[in-house]
Amino acid sequence: MARRTPARSRHAGIALAVTAALLATGCGSGAATTSGGGGQPRHGGELTFALGSDPICIDPQQSDLTTSLNVSRQVVDSLVDQNPDTGEFVPWLASSWKVNDDATSYTFTLRDGVTFSDGTPLDAAAVKANFDGVDALGGKAIVGATYLAGYRGTEVLDQSTVRVSFGAPNAGFLHAVSTMTLGILSPKAVAVRPEARCQGTGLVGTGPFVLDHYTPKQEAVLTRRTGYQWASTVAGHQGEAYLEKITFKVVPEAGVRTGSLRSGQLDAVADVPSQDEPSLESAGYPILARNNPGTVSEYLVNNSGPILKEEAVRRAILKGINRQEIVDTLLLPRNKPATSILSSTTPLYSDLSPLLGHDPDGARKLLDEAGWTPGPDGIRVRDGKRLTVEVVNGQAGKPTTHELVAQQLAKVGVELKITQVSRAEMLARLDNGTADLVPYGLTRGDPDALRMHFSTKRNNPLHLAASPLEAHLDAQAASPDKAQRQAAVDQAARYIVEHALAIPLVEQSQGHALGKHVHGLRFEANARLVFYDTWTEK
């Protein structure tokens, strides 16, 4: 029998703080997942928020960068919302939905009275245009293409009803439509060239804020949407947003961000360095933090590379890394070493920490058995070739984690070479197979995040050979039964770790610092910031 979710009869109107048990943040510090206090919320005021890096592309249907999605989440609403406290899906732009028994068909009934900020009404044709548009983007929709795996099309049943169909079960699709990656843009925006949309041209949604402008490497400015009346029940209030204006300033230098917060030039800052967080917190600046769901921070591995196609070498690298030392040396108590390929905040996560323990003796044994012998400087050699692997880093910030990992691996005879490139070059080298290791981590509140990199059915970025893993990935995507899906997720995660198809490091984590006058900023279920309930005493 198909499952139906009815519309809620009333709005809860409560501000949700995510529980520590779900998010595993705080850990003895005062870090929180929702900024509260300050008395009664007030309308008005402006907020300047410093980003640690340029969004590059602010189209949510094309970007996978948290920096970008923290901006676009304010402009774009989704068909459903997810309660970050319980994981429950609740109505948003869709007032109700039905899912057939094998999760190949999703029927959504749209909420009445919703309009895009350009005045266009939200209707079934607009939803169809969006999903068809994401499918047409292909590889440009870095994450969305995965969400629409097996997409057969969207049928307009009437002005307010659409049916989305898949050629194979897609149990994670309800979660997918809760993300801004499949957020709904105006049909006019969908028709804009992808490159222009990245720069903000025509980027129009139904959200509580409107994009005023985006100047790359400088700022993105949003203004309050007049007449907004369709927040989900997860929100802390109904009606228009409290803030009149949000300015996202690009401030790459961490010291400048924190100094400007202390001086009052900035109202809030992203990506607080771990060494600055305790002093800011002790000075009374609220810290908004959480560990992201999805895959952990990891090294994506070129599994067909000349050295890393050898499983013994991959497993030796996995064993040679001391994840707890990374946390103890570079991070904070609230940070966690990886205990699986999935973060502990991901639904259906299981602890695989026995497979990820620091075992340098085990690493040496694997390399000895594979014929890699220590050279004069300790780095192993075989047939005259050094055991050197390259990590191609296109992430913002200093490569301190990679430097520490290089020190750890040198102790077992592996030389880790760090090459700093642009993000575009990093992704290109991942795709064309000229990188050994690429640092990554995909934020998604559903274990189907694994298909993004470990499925061979699309572009196969890890250059994986055919294996039983694909069947496990298909099974977790296909099963609407929680117990069956749990078993499939466990099998997939275990296979990835046991065969070292990627190298898990630590759980992804965010830490943002707020001015003492800023309240109501929170994370949504997919670890993106939501400014709808945010207000300022200024």
More reliable by pLDDT, 220 or 273: 220
Res 396 pLDDT > 90: no
Distances (CA, A) of 537 to 304, 355, 389, 503, 517: 56, 49, 52, 45, 5
* pLDDT value for 205: 98
- Nearest 5°: the CA angle 364, 365, 368 is 85
Distances (CA, A) of 208 to 102, 138, 224: 35, 29, 6
- What is the average per-residue pLDDT within 297-323? 97
Domain 294-507, what fold? Dipeptide-binding Protein; domain 3 (3.10.105)
Chain-centre distance for alpha carbon 78: 16
* pLDDT value for 274: 85
Every domain of the chain with CATH number 3.10.105.10 lies at: 294-507
* pLDDT value for 35: 67
Provide the CATH number for the domain formed by 46-290+511-536 in this structure. 3.40.190.10
Every domain of the chain with CATH number 3.40.190.10 lies at: 46-290+511-536
- For residue 157 the two structure tokens come to 């049943």
Q: Which amino acid is at 182?
A: L
More reliable by pLDDT, 408 or 34: 408
- For residue 353 the two structure tokens come to 């920490």
Residue 271: phi and psi, rounded to 5, are 55, 60
Res 29 pLDDT > 70: no
* pLDDT value for 33: 62
Q: Distance between CA atoms of 510 and 527, rounded to whole angstroms?
A: 8
3-state DSSP assignment of residue 338:
coil
- For residue 210 the two structure tokens come to 């409107």
Residue 223: phi and psi, rounded to 5, are -125, 155
Using only C-alpha atoms, the chain has a radius of gyration, in whole angstroms, of 23
Res 1 pLDDT > 90: no
Mean pLDDT of the chain: 91
Least confidently predicted of 318-332, 333-347, 356-370, 394-408? 394-408
- For residue 239 the two structure tokens come to 């009606």
- Quote the percentage of the chain above a pLDDT of 70: 93
User: DSSP label at 342?
Assistant: B
- b/e map 29-44, b = 16+ CB within 10 Å: bebbbbbeebeeeeee
- For residue 326 the two structure tokens come to 């990374």
Decide the pairing of beta strands 46-51 and 245-250: parallel
Under the banding of pLDDT at 50, 70 and 90, the label for residue 145 is: confident
Res 9 pLDDT > 60: no
Residue 316: phi and psi, rounded to 5, are -65, -40
* pLDDT value for 428: 93
Res 80 pLDDT > 70: yes
* pLDDT value for 8: 35
* pLDDT value for 362: 98
- For residue 464 the two structure tokens come to 């994986």
Q: Distance between CA atoms of 488 and 482, rounded to whole angstroms?
A: 10
Res 506 pLDDT > 90: yes
* pLDDT value for 24: 31
Res 13 pLDDT > 90: no
Distances (CA, A) of 138 to 145, 151, 449, 459, 468: 6, 12, 17, 10, 26
- What is the average per-residue pLDDT within 329-333? 90
Of the CA atoms within 13 Å of residue 229, those in its CB half-sphere come to 6
CA dihedral over 326, 331, 334, 338, signed as positive or negative: negative
Q: Distance between CA atoms of 333 and 462, rounded to whole angstroms?
A: 32
Q: Distance between CA atoms of 332 and 274, rounded to whole angstroms?
A: 6
- What is the average per-residue pLDDT within 244-266? 96
* pLDDT value for 54: 95
Residue 388: its H or E element: strand 388-393
Q: Distance between CA atoms of 121 and 126, rounded to whole angstroms?
A: 9
More reliable by pLDDT, 116 or 38: 116
- Residue among 12, 84, 49, 30 nearest 518 (CA): 49
- What is the average per-residue pLDDT within 179-201? 96
pTM of this structure: 0.83
Res 146 pLDDT > 90: no
* pLDDT value for 6: 41
* pLDDT value for 304: 96
Top-ranked range on mean pLDDT: pick from 331-335, 369-373, 447-451: 369-373
Q: Distance between CA atoms of 96 and 369, rounded to whole angstroms?
A: 59
- b/e map 346-384, b = 16+ CB within 10 Å: bbbbbebeebbebbbebbbebbeebebeeeeeebbbbee
* pLDDT value for 19: 26
* pLDDT value for 399: 79
Q: Are 287 and 30 in contact (CB under 8 A)?
A: yes
Q: Distance between CA atoms of 138 and 146, rounded to whole angstroms?
A: 10
Under the banding of pLDDT at 50, 70 and 90, the label for residue 139 is: confident
